[in-house]
């Protein structure tokens, strides 16, 4: 489902381009389905679909399919339209190396929003 | 070549605030009823650039915006480097009253957004006789922090994290240029200033227990809140309406936490009915 993340282009956008300083693997968990997103210098080089036996990751984003489908819809409802909104209303949980998540918040927001209005079945 | 000057006059003034000397930057435009505008945490008076440029408003109101100490072009007081900046409700009220006194403004309308929307509730409770009316944008009685505020002031995290955090508070369909102008202000804040303002917003400025002391007969209170604001939510403002008899509330569809800056024309549409009511109020 998250294969489309590989199409995210680390553009010359001044804020998103800061992603070139991010190389990590993070976990996305949607309704207990796990995905490992591997980023190298701000480029998504691999998306693996779980379950995993001994996964290694820096931080994890956990939510439900219902919530993420709303977040990724063309015009999400208020409170579903932003990662920090999901977090505030406990619709998403972030754990692990939260400092890394906060350091690259602009990039991670742009990455996750790149799935907006995409076919989630691909 | 003709220079396209805006009608805004910017200048500095000296003021004693909280018993310390301050150099404060202000901008103003227009004539009429004084309308003092308070910016959000970690930003500055540029958020009101479009109000200052709106003839519709400045034909009837003298719009005045000052950068709070530590913000924008206002300097911090001498010795700022020796202690952590933490805004309190007492300091914030004293600052506003000092600016009004220094500038010889008589019974202004005060409009504040976010932390400014909170402080107008304190002003309504403690000093209603000093104001012609109060307007709260994104007002709520209290906000619990939903992330660790320490991330806002660390040498190993760039200060633009402040803009990254607030970016989603802006309505998702507002004009792109206004959105990024709004975020630019957040990227320019001094280190630790947004965090210090949030001390007032998330801790010291909690006014939940004192709302029943607000008497809108003494000073009219108008509230406007954007629907995409997940910090001071529309529900937070409705809670105020339920607990403060006589206050006037309007939800702003499509807007977020920075209405005057993220989509000025849409905001001014919502502000106009309030300004018209204030103009028709008998002046005491």
Percent of chain B residues topping a pLDDT of 90: 98
A107 has a pLDDT exceeding 80: yes
Query: How many angstroms separate the CA of residue A89 from the nearest CA in chain B?
Result: 8
**What chain B residue is nearest to A16 in terms of C-alpha separation?**
B164
Interface test with B, best of A20, A67, A77, A82 (most B CBs within 10 A): A82
Would the CB atoms of A88 and B165 count as touching at under 8 Å?
no
Does some domain include residue A96?
yes
Q: Tell me how crowded residue B203 is: count the other CB atoms within 10 A of its CB.
A: 17
Q: What is the pLDDT of residue B102?
A: 98
Nearest CA in chain B to A108: B164
SS3 sequence, chain B? CCCCCCCCEEEEEEEEECCEEEEEEEEEECCCEEEEEECCCCCCHHHHHHHHCCHHHHCCEEEEEECCCCCCCCCCCCCHHHCCCCCCHHHHHHHHHHHHHHCCCCCCEEEEECHHHHHHHHHHHHCHHHCCEEEEECCCCCCCCCCCHHHHCCCCCCCCHHHHHHHHHCCCCCCHHHHHHHHHHHHCCCCCHHHHHHHHHHHHCCCHHHHHHCCCCCCCEEEEEECCCCCCCHHHHHHHHHHCCCCEEEEECCCCCCHHHHCHHHHHHHHHHHHHHHHHCCCC
8 Å CB contact between B199 and B87: yes
Residue of A nearest to B187 (CA): A15
User: What phi and psi, each to the nearest 5 degrees, are found at residue B40?
Assistant: -85, 175
CATH number attached to the domain at B9-280 = 3.40.50.1820
CATH code of the domain containing A41: 3.30.1050.10
Q: Number of folded domains in chain A?
A: 1
Residue A25 lies in a domain: yes
Mutation for B interface: A88, A89, A97, A101, most B CBs within 10 A? A88
Asked whether residue A118 is assigned to any structural domain, the reply reads no
Shortest CB distance from A88 goes to which of B146, B158, B227? B146
Yes or no, beta carbons of B168 and A103 under 8 Å apart: no
Q: Which of A78, A81, A107 to mutate to test the interface with B (most CBs of B within 10 A)?
A: A78
**Domain-embedded: residue A66:** yes
Put the strands of the sheet holding A24-30 in their side by side order: A43-49, A33-40, A24-30, A59-63, A93-96
Residue B37 has pLDDT above 80, yes or no: yes
Write the pLDDT tens digit of every residue in B169-184: 999 999 999 999 999 9
Domain that holds residue A45: 2-113
The pLDDT of residue A14 is 72
Cα distance between residue B275 and residue B61, in whole Å = 9
HSE-up of B243 (CA within 13 Å, CB side)?
Answer: 17
Judged by CB atoms closer than 8 Å, whether chains meet at B164 and A76 is answered as no
pLDDT of residue A19: 87
Chain A residues interacting with chain B (CB cutoff of 8 angstroms): 15, 18, 75-76, 78-79, 81-85, 87-89, 98-99, 102-103, 105-106, 109
Which residue of A79, A83, A102 is in closest CB contact with B161? A102
Assess if residue A120 is contained within a domain.
no
Q: Determine the pLDDT at residue B284.
A: 63
Q: What is the pLDDT of residue B1?
A: 82
Would the pLDDT of A10 be above 90? no
For tokens 């010359």, the residue is A12
Does residue A45 fall inside a structural domain? yes
What pLDDT does B41 receive?
A: 98
Query: With 90 as the cut, is the pLDDT of residue A12 above it?
Result: no
Please name the helix (run of DSSP H) or strand (run of DSSP E) that holds residue A48, with its range, or none: strand A43-49
CA of A23 vs chain B CAs: smallest distance (Å)? 16
**Neighbouring C-beta atoms of residue A52, cutoff 10 Å:** 13
B→A interface, C-beta within 8 Å = 146-148, 151, 156-158, 160-161, 163-165, 167-169, 172-173, 227-228, 230-231, 233
Chain A residues touching B163 at Cβ < 8 A: 15, 106
What is the chain B residue with the closest CA to A107?
Answer: B164
pLDDT of residue B154: 95
The residue among B13, B1, B8 whose CA lies nearest residue B27 is B8
Beta carbons of A75 and B164 less than 8 Å apart = no
Question: What does the pLDDT read at residue A6?
Answer: 84
Domain ranges of chain B: 9-280
């Amino acid at each position: 489902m998250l294969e489309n993340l590989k199409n995210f282009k680390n553009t010359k956008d001044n804020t998103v381009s800061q992603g070139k300083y991010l190389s990590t693997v993070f976990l996305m968990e949607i309704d207990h389905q796990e995905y490992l997103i591997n980023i190298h210098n701000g480029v998504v080089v691999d998306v693996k679909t779980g379950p995993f036996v001994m996964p290694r990751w820096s931080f994890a984003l956990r939510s439900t399919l219902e919530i993420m489908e709303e977040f990724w819809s063309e015009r999400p409802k208020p409170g579903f339209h932003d990662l920090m909104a999901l977090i505030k209303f406990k619709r998403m949980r972030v754990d692990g190396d939260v400092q890394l998540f906060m350091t690259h918040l602009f990039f991670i927001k742009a990455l996750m929003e790149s799935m907006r209005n995409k076919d989630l079945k691909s | 070549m003709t220079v396209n000057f805006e009608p805004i006059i910017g200048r500095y003034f000296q003021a004693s605030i909280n018993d310390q000397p301050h150099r404060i930057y202000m901008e103003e435009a227009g004539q009429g009823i004084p309308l003092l505008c308070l910016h959000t945490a970690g930003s500055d008076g540029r958020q009101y650039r479009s109000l200052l440029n709106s003839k519709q408003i400045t034909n009837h109101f003298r719009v005045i915006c000052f950068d709070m100490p530590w913000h924008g072009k206002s300097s911090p007081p001498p010795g700022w480097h020796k202690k952590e900046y933490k805004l309190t409700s007492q300091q914030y009220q004293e600052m506003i009253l000092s600016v009004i006194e220094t500038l010889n403004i008589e019974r202004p309308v005060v409009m504040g957004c976010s932390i400014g929307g909170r402080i107008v509730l304190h002003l309504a409770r403690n000093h209603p006789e000093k104001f012609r009316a109060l307007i709260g944008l994104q007002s709520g009685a209290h906000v619990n922090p939903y992330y660790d505020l320490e991330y806002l002031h660390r040498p190993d995290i760039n200060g633009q994290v402040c803009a990254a955090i607030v970016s989603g508070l802006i309505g998702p369909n507002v004009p792109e240029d206004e959105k990024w102008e709004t975020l630019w202000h957040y990227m320019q804040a001094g280190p630790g200033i947004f965090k210090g303002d949030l001390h007032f917003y998330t801790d010291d400025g909690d006014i939940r227990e004192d709302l029943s002391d607000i008497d809108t007969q003494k000073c009219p209170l108008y509230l406007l809140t954007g629907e995409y604001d997940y910090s001071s939510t529309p529900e937070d403002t409705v809670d105020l309406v339920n607990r403060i008899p006589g206050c006037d509330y309007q939800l702003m569809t499509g807007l977020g936490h920075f209405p005057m800056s993220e989509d000025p024309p849409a905001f001014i549409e919502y502000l106009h009915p309030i300004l018209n009511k204030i103009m028709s109020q008998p002046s005491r």
